[in-house]
Amino acid sequence: MNVSASLTPFNSPTPSSLPMILDTLPDPATEGQLCPRRTRVQIDLILLAIEALELGGSEAILAFADELELKGIIKDRVNLWRMRSSNPLRRAHMRRPLTIMEAKALVVIACYIARRLTVVIRQLLMIYQQMNEKQLPLEQNLRLSNYLERFRTHFKSRMSSRRSGSLALTSDEKLDELAINLLGQLLFCTGTAGMQRFWISLFDGEVE
C-alpha cells in the first residue's frame, strides 16, 4: 500500500498522550501503520449498524469519545466524518488514510456502545432466528423491521451503489442480510475479550 506522507492526518496525538485503553488492542504489522481497505469498510459498517440501532448514534459515538478520553483522536463531528469517509464504498469517499490509532479509537467506542446495547442486540437476533425458523416475513416484527429499514436507508444514502455493487449489496434482501450479520458482529464484541478478538478479525488475512 503506497500512501503519500502528505496524506497523514495533521495534529496527531503523540504516543505518550494516548489513552491507555488503546494499548489493549495490539498493533498489526501494516505498512505505515495505516488500515487496509477491508478494515476501513468493516469499521464504518459496524458504526452504521449502531446508528440504525438507536437514534442519535453519531452523537453517542462523540459522547463516548469524550467519556473514554479519546477526544484527542476523534475531536468533533467533522473529524469523525472524515475518518469514516476513508471507507471506499462511501459516496463522499475521501482519499485519506485511516491510521491504526484512529481505527483503534473507533473500535473501542463501537464495542463500548455494543455493550450498552447488548440486550437489544440479543433480542433482535432472537427475533430474527424465530422469524426465520417459522419462515415469516421479517417486516411482520416491528422492532426488527425498524432496524432493517433504518440500516437500508443509511446505507443507500451514504454508500455508492456503483462501489458497493462489488459486494453484491444491490437489493434490500442483501442489505437485510448484511444488517443481521453486523448485529452478530456487535454481539461478538460484547463477549469475553470481544473487543480484542473483533479488532484482530479486522486484519485477518491482511497482515503477515
Give the C-alpha separation, 142 to 138, whole Å.
9
Q: Where does the pLDDT of residue 169 fall: very low under 50, low under 70, confident under 90, or very high at 90 and above?
A: low
What is the torsional sign of CA 114, 148, 103, 70? negative
Higher per-residue confidence, 12 vs 155: 155
Left, alpha or beta for 207 (phi > 0: left; psi -120 to 50: alpha)? beta
Give the C-alpha separation, 128 to 182, whole Å.
13
The model carries a pTM of 0.85
Residue of 22, 1, 199, 206 lying closest to 97 (CA atoms)? 1
User: pLDDT averaged over the chain?
Assistant: 85
pLDDT above 70 covers a percentage of the chain that reads: 86
Decide if 29 contacts 95 (C-beta within 8 A).
no
Give the C-alpha separation, 66 to 19, whole Å.
11
